[in-house]
Each structure stands twice: as C-alpha cells, then as structure tokens.
C-alpha cells in the first residue's frame, strides 16, 4: 500500500515471528482452534455486549475517518480491558506511522523531507 487515503483507512499490525520451536502444523492449529473456539466466541460476545451497552454514551469530540468504527471500538474499551481513550491514542499512533510509510515510499515525499532536513 502506498496511497495515503487507503493507508489512512488501514490498521497496520506488526506481528512477531513465531519461533521455529513454537510452530505447528495446520492440522494441529485447527485442532487447537476447535478446542478454544467456544471460549473465543464467549469473549467476542462479552465484548459486543459491553460495547452495545456503552455505545449510546460515546461521543468522540474529534472523529477520524471511519468514525463509526472508532466510536464502536471506543465503546468496547472496558470490555477489552483498555483504559478510556486508549484505542483512539493507539489508532492515532497507527495512522501517524502509516503516513510516515506513505511519505517514505513517495519519491516526492522523500525529496521534500530531505529539503526540510537540509534547510529547516
């Protein structure tokens, strides 16, 4: 992705590499997932329930693109074990990182950054 408008609507995840000794076959993964799926579904339903309860009270003073998504996740913060405002701060940092990636991938952006660095 290099288009800033698309990147502004994306959430970038930087996932750790799974160490070789912790890797498993796909069959084993699905077996483990099958065992965990009732707990996963229960957790998802708890989060949705908490978000639905809190949703009418959430009003973000500044709404980003994908405002409904941001409002929804903000409503779910307590159910996710997050402090109030934690999602919007993480989302802001993620968007800042995405914009830096867009600048770094643009020849014009790179030239402007170099010019500013040289001349202030």
Quick check: 1 pLDDT over 70? no
Model confidence, pTM: 0.74
The residue with tokens 């996932």 is 15
**Per-residue model confidence (pLDDT) at position 18:** 96
Helix (H) or strand (E) holding 110: helix 107-119
Q: How do the domains of the chain map onto residue ranges?
A: 4-9+25-119
**Per-residue model confidence (pLDDT) at position 3:** 66
Q: Which contacts qualify for 105-113: CB closer than 8 Å, 24 or more apart?
A: 105/2, 106/2
Instruction: Give the model confidence (pLDDT) of 21-78 as tens digits.
Output: 999 999 999 999 999 999 999 999 999 999 999 999 999 999 988 899 999 999 999 9
DSSP calls for 22-59: G---HHHHHHHHHHHHHHHHHHHHHHHHHHHHHGGG--
**Per-residue model confidence (pLDDT) at position 10:** 79
Instruction: Give the model confidence (pLDDT) of 78-103 as tens digits.
Output: 999 999 999 999 999 888 887 777 77
What is the distance between the alpha carbons of residues 73 and 91, in angstroms, rounded to a whole number? 10
Quick check: 104 pLDDT over 80? no
- Of 87 and 7, the one with more pLDDT: 87
Quick check: 4 pLDDT over 70? no
């Amino acid at each position: 992705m290099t288009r800033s408008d698309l990147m502004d609507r994306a959430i970038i995840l930087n996932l750790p590499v799974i160490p070789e000794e912790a890797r498993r076959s796909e069959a084993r993964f699905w077996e483990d997932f099958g065992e965990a799926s009732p707990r996963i579904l229960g957790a998802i339903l708890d989060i949705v329930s908490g978000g639905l309860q809190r949703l009418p009270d959430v009003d973000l003073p500044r709404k980003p693109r994908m405002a409904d998504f941001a409002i929804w996740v903000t409503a779910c913060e307590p159910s996710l074990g997050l402090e109030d405002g934690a999602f919007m701060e993480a989302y802001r940092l993620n968007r800042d990182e995405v914009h830096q990636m867009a600048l770094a991938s643009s020849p014009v952006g790179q030239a402007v950054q170099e010019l500013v660095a040289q001349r202030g």
